[in-house]
Structures are given as C-alpha cells and as structure tokens.
Amino acid sequence: GAVVSQHPSWVICKSGTSVKIECRSLDFQATTMFWYRQFPKQSLMLMATSNEGSKATYEQGVEKDKFLINHASLTLSTLTVTSAHPEDSSFYICSARRGGAAGELFFGEGSRLTVL
C-alpha cells in the first residue's frame, strides 16, 4: 500500500522554540494533505488542509500564524509549530489522499510533540 512518512516521530523542545514536522508521500503524488491533532484517548481533530502551491485552509479555532503549513511539492508538506508552549504538546498526524476527491486517505505514523 501507499506510504506516508512523518518525521520526526518524537520531539521534545523547550517552550518558546519552533518545531517543524515533515509529511512525505513516498510513492504517490498528493495534491492535498491534511494535518490533524490528537489528544490522548480522543479522536483526530482536523487542523488544516494543505494544498500544493497555495495557502493552507485552516479549521476554525486553529491559529494560522502559530501552525505554519507549507506544501512545497506534491510529495511534501510541513507543519511548523511556532513559539511552542506546553499546551501545544500533542500527537500530530498528517494524511495524504490518493486517487482523487474520494480517494483513500493514507496516514503518517504521527509525531509526538512534548513542550517543556
């Protein structure tokens, strides 16, 4: 099956620093990628839709200046958590859609961010 790779899997940083998470589709091109956030024992909450070559679309309540998304190519999207604070600690997951508008979503393995 298709593979979506996320890096890093784990990251610990100090409060106030910025952290970049990469999401790559390894064997298919993804015009659209999605970024989710998941708190323990809760479901995935969509943060934003990342569109190749254009600005991301953010969900209500998600600060676009805090969570910077760049979709520079058809196989790479990045999420940068700027000036991270402890409340930003979470599990961040990306997904990429293959095969058109109703195509299957492939998820990355997730990135666990801990802000001290």
Contact residues toward another protein (CB under 8 A) are 4, 6, 34, 42-46, 49, 91, 93, 95, 100-102, 104-110, 112
Closest approach, Cβ 16 to another protein, in A, equals 26
The string of DSSP codes covering 8-70 is -SEEEE-TT--EEEEEEESSS--SEEEEEEE-TTS-EEEEEEEETTS--EEPTT--TTTEEEE
Neighbours of 93 (CB within 10 A): 21
> Which residue number, 18 or 42, has a Cβ lying nearer to another protein?
42
> Which residue number, 16 or 99, has a Cβ lying nearer to another protein?
99
> Which residue number, 43 or 54, has a Cβ lying nearer to another protein?
43
Closest approach, Cβ 83 to another protein, in A, equals 26
